[in-house]
């Protein structure tokens, strides 16, 4: 069940297994139910029946010669159908089970069973569409026979890919380079935070080092190496912003500043805050709120690198490059830089739960595989969904 | 060596002549030069080693002529001069001090009153070397520090007019030190903020090590120009080295062995004082190599964390002195929270937010499910668009 309201156009029809009566086959029942639909119908149930029946038999063998639409009093519609090759004509009635039963006068046992079963279907959220077939005798009298019923349910619930795989198509979103950088950065940030915390507090180290060891040196070495690698990752990512051919990864993707994006940002924010329940706008890449958060975290990461290397520079102020960083140290004060560096780490650590949660939530609530896209690189898009950033995707 | 006989370094006499007249042997002189050279070479890493440097220096110093020195004491505590007086580690130092002394110095000179003013006027009219202790208060039109009825800023400007070189001795003269710390009530600034058109050598520290002062003077006497300076105008030979890198407790830092309190077992074992707020890793000074009071000790060696007094604005930026990082007061709570407390709180808040939001999502989904009928109205069964009607029909 979706949290967000799905627009009218996205109604979803589920057909249960047809329940034939009087020794009929399911196939016949389904075909009869489809033939009972008015010609040129737009009703979703009719369309679902027709599409299901067309897999069983070529419906072009039949021709509709007349249709009596459903009347409120009678609660049944009757179609007159002729088989093209044999010229045989038949009437097909559809409606509530009891109405069709009333029309067909089957024996007591059939009637009882059909009514009971139709009631049972309703407890499962389905409703029974009764189908009756009437043959026309030569003298014009009609003989009706109860064929059975088909359980039908209409919802606005989205299907899952496991249920209806053909409703989805695959869109590659993230290049492998970007995914590698993402997971490398995750690893490095975890290492950096861990070693940073240990170095800063020295609490956990305590007691481990009885006598001589290089414990803190190893921590520092790990921290510095990870810092350099993170710098490399950052440089590659920044280069990718300008070199990547993937438009979701280029620099303009970082800044959702078009008016439409800003409106959507507001809407997504309201959706997240439970202020509105209509469906949020769909994006193949990031939605504007997501993107703003990610762009901000990029900035925070760069700040972490900058403050980190400004502190690192203290070991060699003579170096032509580190000299500039040391000047920055003197401008701000080394201790405040340390403080900032540590607070930035906490920003990351506070970001991670929210980030992971929202990704998982997007996967479970919207069911479009945004989470898996950072692993596999692509995501499944529901057919017919309009994406705000889909102009370059052809489906 | 005999005690110095009367008779200072007269003008026209070279330094070597003077020294031999005073009974300083060539060997003693070279030993001094060697020590000074070692001091210079400590950070400068000049090629050829300190021996060649000592020879060169002896040569140059031998030919030096006696300079006239004005040693101003402005808004300060006389601690720097106290430190300088303790430079008596060898007779040579004492002689240099005596000779570099001092046409004018408030603390040490014999004259007083208008006689002293007269001396200053005369000395300032001739080429001289200007040493300054203390900051220059610019607030209240300089009323916070006046000597002989004139403001410190005016005295400094006059004395600097004909000075060959200007040395700001001590943190006060460099940038204002304690009195310039927030909120800086007297508007105290350093010498280089008043004398903006001339290079000023900053001999940093609160106070500086005596040998740093004498070494800078010696360098100037020997070469006729100030030593190479770092970005903060401090002589590189002294301030190009980080205390942390030459600290005798560095091994226990690398091993992760820290004193947690001043009286715990680790403190007694002489472990690293980092956790007690030692600012050695951020402080550039020769304390760990030269040490204080005739090379006797220095704070870290004596079991006290470095306060970072050679770094600018250390009262604002290196405080709290006994904590590793600055903390800040959370408004309303009055609690001093550290970065880690705040960071951990942010992470807890983020995890809590995620949990609340996921709970809200589940509730919203449940409500959405409840609000939505199990099946939408079906036109094929004669339902109208409104779900209420469908409910009636079913009943």
3-state SS record for chain A: CCCCECCHHHCEEEECCCEECCCCCHHHHHHHHHHCCCCCCCCHHHHHHHHHHHCCCCHHHEEEEEEECCCCCCCEEEEEEEECCCCCEEEEEEECHHHHHHHHCCCHHHHHHHHHHHHHHHHCCCEEEEEEEEEECCCCCEEEEEEEEEEEEEECCCCCCCCCHHHEEEEECCCHHHHHHHHHHHHHHHHHHHHHHHHHHCCCCCCCCCCCCCHHHHHHHHHHHHHHHHHHHHHHHHHHHHHCCCCCCCHHHHCCCCHHHHHHHHHHHHHHCCCCCECCCECCCCCHHHHHHHHHHHHHHHHHHHHHHHHHHHHCCCCHHHHHHHHHHHHHCHHHHHHHHHHHHHHHHHHHHHHHHHHHHHHHHHCCCCCCHHHHCEEEEECCCCECCCCCCCC
User: With an 8 Å Cβ cutoff, are B251 and A213 in contact?
Assistant: no
Q: Look at residue A205 in the predicted model and tell me its pLDDT.
A: 54
Q: What's the pLDDT at A300?
A: 94
> B350 and A327 in contact by Cβ < 8 A?
no
Q: Using CA of residue B94, residue B98, residue B102, residue B106, what is the dihedral sign?
A: positive
- In chain B, the percentage of residues whose pLDDT exceeds 70 is 83
Q: Both A170 and A116 in a single domain?
A: no
Q: Average pLDDT, stretch A153-164? A: 70
Together in a domain, A39 and A125: yes
Query: A171 and A110 share a domain?
Result: no
User: B380–A213: do the CB atoms touch at under 8 Å?
Assistant: no
Residue A364: band (very low, low, confident or very high) from pLDDT cuts 50, 70, 90: confident
Q: Does A315 touch chain B (CB under 8 A)?
A: yes
Higher pLDDT, residue A275 or A148: A148
- Structural domain includes residue A360: yes
B89: confidence class by pLDDT, cuts 50, 70, 90: low
Q: Does A319 touch chain B (CB under 8 A)?
A: no
Which chain A residues are Cβ-neighbours of B342 within 8 angstroms?
Answer: 343, 346
Q: Are A20 and A143 part of one and the same domain?
A: yes
A320 touches chain B (CB under 8 A): no
A 267-286: CB under 8 A from B: 272, 274, 277
Structural domain that includes position A121: 8-155
Look at residue B220 and tell me whether its pLDDT is greater than 90. Answer: no
A187 falls within a domain: no
Subunit contact B354:A357, Cβ cutoff 8 A: yes
Q: How far is A182 from chain B (nearest CA, A)?
A: 21
Does residue B352 carry a pLDDT above 90? yes
B279 contact residues in A (CB cutoff 8 A): 334-335
Closest in B282, B344, B364 to A3, CB measured: B364
Q: Say whether pLDDT at B384 is over 90.
A: no
**pLDDT at res. B391:** 36
Domain endpoint, select from A155, A187, A213: A155
Using CA atoms, how far apart are residues B60 and B16, in angstroms rounded to an integer?
10
Q: Is the pLDDT of residue A362 over 50?
A: yes
- The verdict on residue A393 lying in a domain is no
- Which residue in A71, A353, A358 has the most chain B C-beta atoms within 10 A of its own C-beta, making it the best mutation to test that interface? A353
Start-to-end CA distance of chain B, whole Å, equals: 122
Inform me whether the pLDDT recorded for A16 exceeds 60.
Answer: yes
Residues of B in contact with A94 (CB under 8 A): 380
Location of structure tokens 């500039």: A324
Q: Write out the CATH class of domain B65-238.
A: alpha beta
The pLDDT value given to residue A301? 94
Q: Are residues A55 and A144 in the same domain?
A: yes
Q: Check whether residue A147 and residue A249 sit in a common domain.
A: no
Residue A179 reports pLDDT greater than 70:
yes
Mean pLDDT to the nearest integer, B260-273: 90
* Among A residues 356-385, those touching chain B with beta carbons less than 8 Å apart: 357, 361, 365
Q: Please name the member of B339, B358, B364 whose beta carbon is closest to the beta carbon of A357.
A: B358
pLDDT band at B1 (very low <50, low <70, confident <90, very high): very low
Size of interface A-B (CB pairs under 8 A): 174
CATH topology of domain B241-322: Cytochrome-c3 Hydrogenase; Chain A, domain 2 (4.10.480)
B59-69 pLDDT, tens per residue?
Answer: 777 666 677 88
Q: How many domains does chain A have?
A: 2
Q: Do A215 and B382 touch (CB under 8 A)?
A: no
Q: Do A46 and B372 touch (CB under 8 A)?
A: no
Contacts of A363 in chain B (CB under 8 A): none
Domain CATH for A82: 3.40.1110.10
Q: Does the residue A84 lie in any domain?
A: yes
Give the residue on A whose Cα is nearest the Cα of B277. Answer: A335
The top-scoring range by mean pLDDT among A8-17, A274-283, A285-294, B84-93 is: A285-294
Nearest-CA distance A219 → chain B (Å): 9
Do A171 and A52 lie in one domain? The reply is no
Residues A305 and A358 in one domain: yes
Angle made by CA atoms A263, A268, A269, in degrees to the nearest 5: 95
Cβ distance B374 to A357 less than 8 Å, yes or no, reads no
Q: Residues B125-146: what's their mean pLDDT? A: 91
* Mean of per-residue pLDDT scores for chain B: 82
Structural domain contains residue A223: no
State the pLDDT at residue A235. 94
Q: Is B304 exposed, middle or buried (0-12, 13-18, 19+ CB in 10 A)?
A: middle
Question: Which of the listed residues A106, A125, A155 is the one where a domain comes to its end?
Answer: A155
Long-range contacts of A54-57 (CB under 8 A, 24+ apart): A56/A27, A56/A30, A56/A31, A57/A27, A57/A31
**B146, B152 contact by CB (below 8 A):** yes
Omega before B320 cis (within 30°)?
yes
| The pLDDT of residue A306 | 95
- Separation in Å, CA of A342 to nearest CA in chain B: 7
Q: Show residues of chain A in contact with B377, CB under 8 Å.
A: 154
Q: What residue segments make up the domains of chain B, in order of their start?
A: 65-238, 241-322
Q: Which two tokens stand for residue A333?
A: 């004060």
Position A371 scores a pLDDT of 67
Question: Chain-wide mean pLDDT for chain A?
Answer: 82
Q: Is the pLDDT of residue B47 over 60?
A: no
Q: Using one digit for the tens of pLDDT, what is the confidence trace for B288-332?
A: 988 888 788 999 999 999 999 999 899 988 888 998 888 777 777
> Is residue B387 scored above 70 in pLDDT?
no
Shortest CA distance from B319: residue in chain A? A335
- For the residues B140-169, what does the mean pLDDT come to? 92
Q: What is the pLDDT of residue B189?
A: 94
Give contacts of B343 with chain A, Cβ < 8 Å: 342-343, 345-346, 349-350
The pLDDT score that the predictor gives to residue B103 is: 80
Q: Which is more confident, B26 or B91? A: B26
How many whole angstroms separate alpha carbon A26 and alpha carbon A23? 10
CB of A201 within 8 Å of a chain B CB? The answer is yes
CA angle A163, A367, A6 (to 5 degrees): 90
pLDDT of A192: 95
Tell me if A183 is assigned to some domain.
Answer: no
- The partner residue sitting opposite B381, judged by closest CB among A129, A326, A361, is A129
Q: Residue B325 and residue A339: Cβ atoms within 8 Å? A: yes
Same domain, A118 and A170: no
Kindly state whether residue A186 falls inside one of the protein's structural domains: no
Range name among A106-115, A162-171, B42-51, B120-129 with the lowest pLDDT average: B42-51
| pLDDT higher than 70, residue A391 | no
Nearest to B242 among A314, A336, A349 (CB): A314
What CATH number does the domain containing A269 carry?
1.20.950
Residue of B155 and B386 predicted with greater confidence: B155
Determine contact: A122 vs chain B, CB below 8 A: yes
Q: Measured between CB atoms, which of A125, A317, A353 is closest to B351?
A: A353
A146 and A14, same domain (yes or no) = yes
A151 and A17 in a common domain:
yes
Given a cut of 80, whether residue A228 has pLDDT beyond it is yes
Q: Find chain B residues with C-beta within 8 A of A77's C-beta.
A: 380
Do A209 and B255 count as a contact with CB atoms less than 8 A apart?
yes
Residue A116 shares a structural domain with residue A261:
no
């Amino acid at each position: 069940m979706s949290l967000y309201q799905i627009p009218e156009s996205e109604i979803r029809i589920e057909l249960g297994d047809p329940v034939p009566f009087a020794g009929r086959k399911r196939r016949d029942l389904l075909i009869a139910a489809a033939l009972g639909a008015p010609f040129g119908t737009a009703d979703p149930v009719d369309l679902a029946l027709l599409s299901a029946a067309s897999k069983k038999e070529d419906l072009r063998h039949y021709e509709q010669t007349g249709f009596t639409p459903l009347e409120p009093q009678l609660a049944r519609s009757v179609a007159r159908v002729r088989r093209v090759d044999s010229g045989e004509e038949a009437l097909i009635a559809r409606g509530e089970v009891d109405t069709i039963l009333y029309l067909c006068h089957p024996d007591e046992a059939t009637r009882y069973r059909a009514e009971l079963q139709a009631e049972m279907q309703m407890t499962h959220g389905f409703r029974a569409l009764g189908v009756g077939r009437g043959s026309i005798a030569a003298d014009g009298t009609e003989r009706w026979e109860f064929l059975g019923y088909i359980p039908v349910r209409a919802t606005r619930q989205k299907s899952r890919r496991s249920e209806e795989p053909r409703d989805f198509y695959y869109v590659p979103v993230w290049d492998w380079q970007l995914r590698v950088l993402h997971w490398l950065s995750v690893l490095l940030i975890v290492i950096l935070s861990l070693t940073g915390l240990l170095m800063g507090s020295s609490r956990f180290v305590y007691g481990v080092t009885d006598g001589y060891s290089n414990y803190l040196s190893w921590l520092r070495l790990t921290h510095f190496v990870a810092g350099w690698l993170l710098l490399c990752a950052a440089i590659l990512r920044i280069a990718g912003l300008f070199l990547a051919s993937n438009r979701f990864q280029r620099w303009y993707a970082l800044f959702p500043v078009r008016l439409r994006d800003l409106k959507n940002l507001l809407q997504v924010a309201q959706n997240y805050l439970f202020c509105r329940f209509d469906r949020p706008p769909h994006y193949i890449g990031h939605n504007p709120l997501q993107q703003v958060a990610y762009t901000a975290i990029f900035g925070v990461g760069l700040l972490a690198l900058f403050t980190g290397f400004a502190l690192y520079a203290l070991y060699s102020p003579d170096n032509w490059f580190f000299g500039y960083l040391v000047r920055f140290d003197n401008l701000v004060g080394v201790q405040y830089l340390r403080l900032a560096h540590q607070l930035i780490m906490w920003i990351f650590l506070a970001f991670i739960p929210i980030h992971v949660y929202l990704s998982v939530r997007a996967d479970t609530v919207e069911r479009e595989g945004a989470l898996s896209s950072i692993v596999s690189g692509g995501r499944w898009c529901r057919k017919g969904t309009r994406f705000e950033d889909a102009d370059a995707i052809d489906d | 060596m005999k005690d110095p006989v009367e008779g200072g370094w007269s003008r026209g006499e070279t330094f070597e002549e003077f020294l031999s007249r005073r009974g300083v042997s060539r060997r003693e002189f070279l030993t001094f030069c060697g020590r000074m050279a070692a001091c210079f070479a400590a950070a400068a890493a000049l090629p050829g080693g300190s021996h060649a440097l000592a020879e060169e220096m002896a040569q140059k110093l031998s030919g030096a002529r006696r300079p006239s020195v004005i040693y101003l004491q402005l808004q300060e505590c006389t601690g720097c001069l106290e430190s300088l007086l303790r430079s008596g580690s060898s007779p040579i130092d004492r002689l240099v001090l005596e000779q570099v002394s001092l046409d004018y110095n408030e603390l040490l000179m014999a004259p007083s009153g208008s006689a002293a003013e007269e001396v200053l006027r005369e000395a300032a009219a001739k080429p001289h070397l200007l040493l300054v202790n203390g900051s220059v208060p610019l607030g209240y039109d300089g009323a916070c520090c006046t000597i002989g009825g004139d403001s410190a800023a005016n005295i400094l400007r006059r004395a600097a007019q004909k000075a060959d070189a200007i040395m700001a001795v001590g943190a006060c003269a460099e940038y204002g030190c304690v009195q310039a710390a927030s909120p800086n009530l007297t508007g105290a600034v350093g010498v280089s903020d008043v004398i903006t058109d001339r290079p000023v050598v900053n001999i940093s520290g609160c106070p500086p090590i005596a040998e740093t002062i004498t070494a800078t003077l010696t360098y100037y006497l020997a070469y006729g120009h100030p030593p190479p300076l770092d970005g903060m105008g401090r002589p590189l030979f002294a301030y190009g080295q980080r205390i942390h890198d030459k600290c005798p407790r560095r091994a226990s830092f690398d091993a992760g062995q820290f004193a947690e309190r001043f009286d715990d077992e680790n403190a007694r074992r002489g472990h690293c004082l980092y956790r007690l707020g030692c600012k050695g890793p951020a402080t550039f000074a020769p304390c760990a190599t030269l040490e204080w009071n005739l090379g006797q000790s220095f704070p870290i060696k004596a079991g006290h964390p470095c306060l970072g007094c050679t770094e600018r604005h250390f009262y604002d930026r290196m405080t709290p002195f006994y904590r590793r990082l600055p903390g800040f007061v959370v408004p309303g709570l009055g609690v001093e929270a550290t970065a880690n407390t705040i960071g951990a709180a942010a992470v807890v808040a983020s995890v809590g937010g995620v949990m609340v939001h996921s709970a809200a999502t589940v509730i919203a989904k449940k409500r959405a499910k409840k609000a939505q009928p199990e099946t939408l109205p079906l036109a094929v069964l004669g339902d109208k668009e409104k779900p209420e009607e469908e409910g009636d029909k079913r009943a």
